[in-house]
Amino acid sequence: MKSSLIFKTARENQLQQLEDTLLTWDVLVIGGGATGLGIALDAISRGYKTLLVEQSDFAKGTSSRSTKLIHGGVRYLAQGDVRLVREASIERGLLCRNAPHLVKNQPFIIPVYSIWDKYKYTIGLKLYDWIAGKLSLGSSVFISRQQTLEALPGIKQDGLLGGVRYQDGQFDDARLAINLAQTIIEKGGTALNYVRVRDLIKDQNKIKGAILQDVENDKLYEVNARAIINATGVFVDDILRMDNPSAQKTICVSQGIHVVLDKKFFPAQYALMIPKTSDGRVLFAVPWHNKLILGTTDTPVAEASLEPKAMEEEIDFILETAGEFLTVKPERKDILSIFAGLRPLAAPKKDSDTTKEISRSHKITTSPSGLFTMLGGKWTTFRKMGEDMMDHIEKYSGWKRRKSRSASIKIHGAAPSNGISDPLDYYGSDAAFIKQHMNGSSGQWISPALHIHKEQVRWAVEHEMARTLEDVLSRRTRALLLDAAESIRIAETVARYMAELLKKDELWILQQLEKYKNLASQYLYQNKQTGAVYELNKGLNAI
Ligand SMILES: Cc1cc2nc3c(=O)[nH]c(=O)nc-3n(C[C@H](O)[C@H](O)[C@H](O)COP(=O)(O)OP(=O)(O)OC[C@H]3O[C@@H](n4cnc5c(N)ncnc54)[C@H](O)[C@@H]3O)c2cc1C
């Protein structure tokens, strides 16, 4: 089993590479979210000696908190950004081919309540198909009222004329991130979680390296690199200020939250897209891992944080808007989890309060010191962003041009999907190894409700660089996002098993549990007046 040998105690192997590399790296990527992983993937595809460091876990930031869509972007079409839709449609097609275990072809329906909307969306979605060309995931079509009601049994019936059905991609963001890190390593790169860039090293005002800190033991490393890339999402300005303390602000931060509900609120295989909410946004209701995700919002925020918190008004907005379209109105007590993410949007030229009009396309900048920075972007276009960055670096630095091969790299685990009824489908070819062990340890389901087996915990620790309880419960499995209270219920069992595998003591278990419970309580709906927490559908409980 090749992958098992490579990933046995993988982080130790990766740290060893850091210690052994006395010479200069070609490329140092700061940040292990979608952007950094896309850049490192492209760099390694061109044969560059590549190091990626992430201060927390892979995809701890925005990249585990998306709406889970690999999409051309119907909304961007409405904004007239045809170039972005075309680019995203191509990337969507490539990702369906290179990571079929993670990206599913998801049918969406836009319910239509007026003749004007019927023609607007039917023609608009035909244009969407046409822009994607051969990479379209299926033709859009207008469907009758009856067909719409059959497809979306929970939908509001009053005034319904029919719907427009179209196809887009849906994925597991954090699992794609970890599979990308694995791919980068398998192709000869080095990717490390829990390693932070503490400072930049310069020689005659030109950047030439960085001081790295292993967050687990505070050990420092000094590394040299020919190109250093700031791919830190909403934190890009922190790195730019490390380079130049008087650097101008380059990004705006916009928060988007999601509310997760039981699938009974929308028991359909289809996803619902509401193209224009009361304040002109788009709202999605998407089935995901047997639950329903509702989102998102677009709220400008002043501060960037790794754990942003949903605002009361955002939760109200989502429940009220969804309630207008679902026969059974969801209430606060129905919320299984709430998660918030921050969009790193390239700041517009003139100051503006509205972030929904700022382009989602990416932008590359180069500081006078030679520090490269990627601003903005989307998960869907992560690979193209990487290719663009490496093209830019080669041109700017006068390096001999090398061909990008990232478009044809199969992502770790790539295998045809068995369908969503298989709870391990998202593991792709790794599922067979996990199932082999599961057969020998039947009855070890840690969470039957979320289909989490003890062997998944072992797999996460031994093969997927999971270091903390949160890594396993939030990003290797998606328990925290799917059902925060259930994730708290299973936390101790998972922590004890992890401690056994990682050879940690009782104190580690207690610290992990305390940290995790504090974190997970933010994902539960909490009554701001009383401080009480709603647990599952049982009403108010103290957890
Ligand atoms: C609510 C919401 C919904 C979205 N939905 C979609 C969607 O459905 N489809 C889609 O295509 N896109 C979507 N997006 C956009 C997409 O999620 C983001 O564009 C993408 O995840 C940003 O990735 P990133 O790597 O730039 O940032 P991040 O994921 O935040 O990664 C940056 C990383 O840098 C690390 N870092 C910071 N400082 C340091 C340091 N000093 N040393 C080392 N590491 C450091 C951070 O810890 C962080 O992990 C959505 C965004 C939001 C907010």
Q: Convert the pLDDT of each residue in 125-148 to its tens digit.
A: 998 888 888 888 999 999 999 999
pLDDT reading at 120 higher than 80: yes
Enumerate the β-bridge partners of residue 299: 255
The region of weakest confidence among 15-29, 74-88, 426-440 is 74-88
- Which pLDDT value is given to residue 538? 39
Read off the pLDDT band of 536 (50, 70, 90): very low
Tens of pLDDT, residue by residue over 99-114, are 999 999 999 999 999 9
* 440 compared with 260, residue with greater pLDDT: 260
Report how far ligand 1's centroid is from the alpha carbon of 73 (Å): 18
Domains of the chain: 2-62+175-250+359-408 (3.50.50.60), 71-171+252-346 (3.30.9.10), 425-534 (1.10.8.870)
- Which pLDDT value is given to residue 42? 98
Mean pLDDT, to the nearest integer, of 169-187?
Answer: 97
**What is the percent of the chain with per-residue pLDDT over 70, rounded to a whole number?**
92
User: How many other CB atoms are there within 10 angstroms of residue 290's CB atom?
Assistant: 14
Tens of pLDDT, residue by residue over 72-98, are 887 777 777 788 889 999 999 999 999
Atom of ligand 1 minimally distant from the CA of 377:
19
Pocket mutation for ligand 1, best pick of 60, 62, 250 (most atoms within 8 Å of C-beta) = 62
Predicted TM-score (pTM) of the model is 0.94
The region of weakest confidence among 64-68, 192-196, 228-232, 417-421 is 417-421
- Which pLDDT value is given to residue 542? 36
Q: Are strands 533-534 and 540-541 parallel, antiparallel or unpaired?
A: antiparallel
Report how far ligand 1's centroid is from the alpha carbon of 197 (Å): 17
Residue 235 Cβ inside 6 Å of ligand 1? The answer reads yes
Residues 6+ apart with CB under 8 A from 52: 28, 29, 31, 32, 36, 37, 40, 181, 184, 189, 190, 191, 192
Pocket mutation for ligand 1, best pick of 51, 63, 240 (most atoms within 8 Å of C-beta) = 63
d(CA 160, CA 144): 9
- Which pLDDT value is given to residue 267? 83
Angle among Cα 411, 339, 380 to the nearest 5 degrees reads 30
pLDDT reading at 529 higher than 90: no
Tens of pLDDT, residue by residue over 367-406, are 999 999 999 999 999 999 999 999 999 999 999 999 999 9
Max distance between CA atoms of the chain, in angstroms, equals: 71
Report how far ligand 1's centroid is from the alpha carbon of 30 (Å): 12
Residue 60 Cβ inside 6 Å of ligand 1? The answer reads yes
Atom of ligand 1 minimally distant from the CA of 58:
49
Mean pLDDT, to the nearest integer, of 252-264?
Answer: 94
**What is the percent of the chain with per-residue pLDDT over 90, rounded to a whole number?**
73
d(CA 299, CA 295): 12
Average pLDDT of the chain, as a whole number: 90
pLDDT reading at 6 higher than 90: no
List the residue whose alpha carbon is closest to atom 50 of ligand 1: 66
- Which pLDDT value is given to residue 532? 53
Report how far ligand 1's centroid is from the alpha carbon of 155 (Å): 32
Helices (H), 133-172: 145-151
Residue 120 Cβ inside 6 Å of ligand 1? The answer reads no
The region of weakest confidence among 208-217, 453-462, 508-517, 530-539 is 530-539
Enumerate the β-bridge partners of residue 207: 202
Report how far ligand 1's centroid is from the alpha carbon of 192 (Å): 17
Q: Give CA separation, 251 vs 20, 346, 354, 363, in Å.
A: 36, 5, 13, 11
Pocket mutation for ligand 1, best pick of 53, 64, 232 (most atoms within 8 Å of C-beta) = 232
- Which pLDDT value is given to residue 345? 82
List the residue whose alpha carbon is closest to atom 9 of ligand 1: 69
